[in-house]
Chains A and B, each alone.
Chain A
Amino acid sequence: MEFFNSIDWMQMLRCFIVGGLICIIGQILIDKTKLTPARILVIFVTTGAILGGLGLYQYLVDFAGCGATVPLTGFGNALAKGAIDEVAKSGFVGAFIGGTKAAAGGIAAAVFFRIYCISYCKAKNEKAII
């Protein structure tokens, strides 16, 4: 229970609101522009990478924590940050290594969990039920 006492609830609220607002931007894009989900995700990840490269996204991360890192803009930011860190460490080659390195955990996890899904699950037509 010591852990629960250590949670900063104001920080949690900021996380909730910022994360929610980023999703609202996505929802407005879906409803108003008829973009496909893949395009929305691309827009978010690229925006995140650009803002991350400019060093602006870090302010949002400092303010909202996971509210900024969990949406895909945060994934873009992590890629950009990875590239910058790696450039600082190993120069030109770092630009090519850094981004993918930062994303490796996420991609590998998605690939791994997919193995579970395709082994035990089957696609069903249940879109109708809700």
Chain B
Amino acid sequence: MQKIGKQTIKLDTPPTILQTASIVGPKEADGPLASYFDQCLEDEFWGEKTWEKAESKIIKETVAMAIAKSGIPSEKIDFCFAGDLLNQCISSSFGLRELNIPFFGIFGACSTFVEALCMASVFLEGGAGSYALCAASSHFCSAEKQFRFPLELGNQRPPSSQWTVTGSGAAIVAKSGMGPYITHITPGKIVDMGIKDANNMGAAMAPAALDTLITHFKDTGRAPSYYDAILTGDLGYVGKEILIEMAETKGYNIRSNYNDCGVLIFDKEKQDTHSGGSGCACCGTVFSGYLFKMLQQKKYKKILLMATGALTNSTTSQQGESIPGIAHAVAIEL
């Protein structure tokens, strides 16, 4: 493990992503990626009384599924890194309280899943253990309740707003294995360009994504064309367009191989999701469901996964604060 350039970590004996699992809600099940997910729920409650309980159950079951699929007994898993959007990360800590695996609760807003992958690979590469578990979840209803308005309030969503993905993604990372390998990590800086509109998260997070993206290319000496696919977490249509144009002004053309998980997961026209998906589960489920299968089938050989997060809460946005953004990137190669 060594640091290269300004802020990138190169992993010399790269850890492997052994197995992933994903569970999504009913709306995601209507989307274009439905067939890639392991399980689609029929309703948002999943037999629970509250949305918070439902979200905890989703992350719990997703983690259980990832462990079962990997064939690694849960006693052998050394660490768990998990997080979500609710205050004090209660979905993951409540959902995983019976797991009996040492637990790190992490918060990176919607970038949590990749943040977990970064931490797990550094831990494993450093020799602290053999297997680590990464998970992230979000739930449309509990997020709306915490960040926006009651569901039954008859308000309109502006066209730049995004739809929080209901679901959870989990991955088991092993110290060694047959790949896909996590070869480089570029943790992001907090970037705040002064956007205050909580209905335009894509625009608030795009500068952070740009910063991490360019730093990654400079540090590794790679060009955008090195990757089969560059994926951001949840910039949505608005943020995607902004990132492409701003990268061009800096001399990087990512138009041909770049896409956004929030754009992929929903059908904009049919599902009325405006600018696309968002939330921890957006990047989590798209990676665990869709991208991991693409890697397994060798359709993609080198991808750069860059999850973006808006580090805000409802109090700061009421107080008129701007929205700081963050983006963490991991290079995953076969």
The reply, when asked whether chain A contacts chain B directly with Cβ atoms under 8 A, is yes
Within 8 A of B (CB), among A95-130: 123-128, 130
Is A37 in the interface zone, CB < 8 Å from B? Answer: yes
A54 at the interface (CB under 8 A from B): no
Residues of B136-168 contacting chain A, CB below 8 A: 140-141, 149-153, 155-158
In this assembly, does A42 line the interface, its C-beta being within 8 Å of a C-beta of chain B?
no
Evaluate contact between B199 and A130: CB separation under 8 angstroms: no
Given the complex, which residues of B lie within 8 Å of A30, measured CB to CB?
Answer: 156
B158 touches A128 (CB 8 A): no
Known: A34-B158, A128-B271, A130-B272. A123 touches B199 (CB 8 A): no
Asked whether A123 and B152 contact (CB < 8 A) given A128-B271, A128-B272, A130-B272, the answer is: yes
Question: Nearest Cβ distance between residue B93 and chain A, in whole angstroms?
Answer: 24
Given contacts A37-B153, A130-B272, 14 further A-B contacts (CB under 8 A): A34-B158, A34-B197, A123-B141, A124-B44, A125-B27, A125-B44, A125-B140, A125-B151, A126-B151, A127-B157, A128-B27, A128-B271, A128-B272, A128-B273
* Residue in contact with B141 in the complex, picked from A34, A36, A125, CB distance below 8 Å: A125
B interface, size bucket: 10 to 19
Contacts of A130 in B (CB 8 A): 272
Question: Can you report 8 residue pairs joining A to B where beta carbons are below 8 Å apart?
Answer: A34-B158, A37-B153, A123-B150, A123-B151, A123-B152, A124-B44, A127-B157, A128-B273
What distance in Å separates the Cβ of B190 from its nearest Cβ neighbour in chain A?
Answer: 24
Task: Report the minimal beta-carbon distance from A32 to chain B, rounded to whole angstroms.
Answer: 11
Interface size class of A (residues with CB under 8 A): 10 to 19
B residues less than 8 Å from A127 (CB atoms) = 151, 157
In the bound assembly, the distance between CA atoms of A127 and B143 in angstroms comes to: 14
Partner of A37 from B27, B151, B155, B272 at Cβ < 8 Å: B155
B interface vs A, CB < 8 Å?
27, 44, 140-141, 149-153, 155-158, 197, 199, 271-273
Residues on the A chain within 8 Å of B155, using CB: 37
Q: Are A37 and B199 in contact (CB under 8 A)?
A: no
Query: How distant is B185 from chain A, measured CB to nearest CB, in Å?
Result: 36
List the 10 closest pairs (A to B, CB-CB), nearest first. Answer: A123-B151, A37-B155, A125-B44, A125-B141, A123-B152, A128-B27, A125-B151, A125-B140, A128-B272, A34-B197
Across the interface, which residues of B come within 8 angstroms of A36, CB to CB? 149
B269 → chain A closest CB, angstroms? 13
* Residues on the A chain within 8 Å of B141, using CB: 123, 125
B152 / chain A contacts, CB cutoff of 8 Å:
123
**Chain A, residue nearest B148 (CB):** A36
User: CA separation between A82 and B199, bound complex, in Å?
Assistant: 39
User: How far is the CB of B157 from the nearest CB of chain A, in Å?
Assistant: 8
Cα-based distance from A36 to B156 in the complex (angstroms): 10
CA A36 – CA B317 in complex, angstroms?
12
CA distance A54 to B199 in the complex (A): 37
What's the nearest-Cβ distance from chain B to residue A25, in Å?
Answer: 16
20-68 of chain A: CB within 8 A of chain B: 30, 34, 36-37
Separation in Å of the A39 CB from the closest CB of chain B? 11
Cβ proximity bits A70-100 to B, threshold 8 Å, 1 near / 0 not: 0000000000000000000000000000000
Closest to A38 in B: B149
The chain A residue with its CB closest to the CB of B196 is A34
Q: Which residue of B has the minimal Cβ distance to A30?
A: B156
The distance from the CB of B53 to the nearest CB of chain A, in whole angstroms, is: 14
Chain A residue nearest to B44 (CB atoms) is: A125
Q: Are A34 and B140 in contact (CB under 8 A)?
A: no
How many angstroms from the CA of A125 to the CA of B145 in the assembled complex? 11
A37 touches B149 (CB 8 A): yes
Is B151 in contact with A124, judged by CB distance below 8 angstroms?
A: yes
The smallest beta-carbon distance between A64 and chain B, in angstroms, is 24
Known: A125-B141, A128-B27. A34 touches B149 (CB 8 A): no
- What's the Cα separation between A19 and B149 when bound, in Å? 26
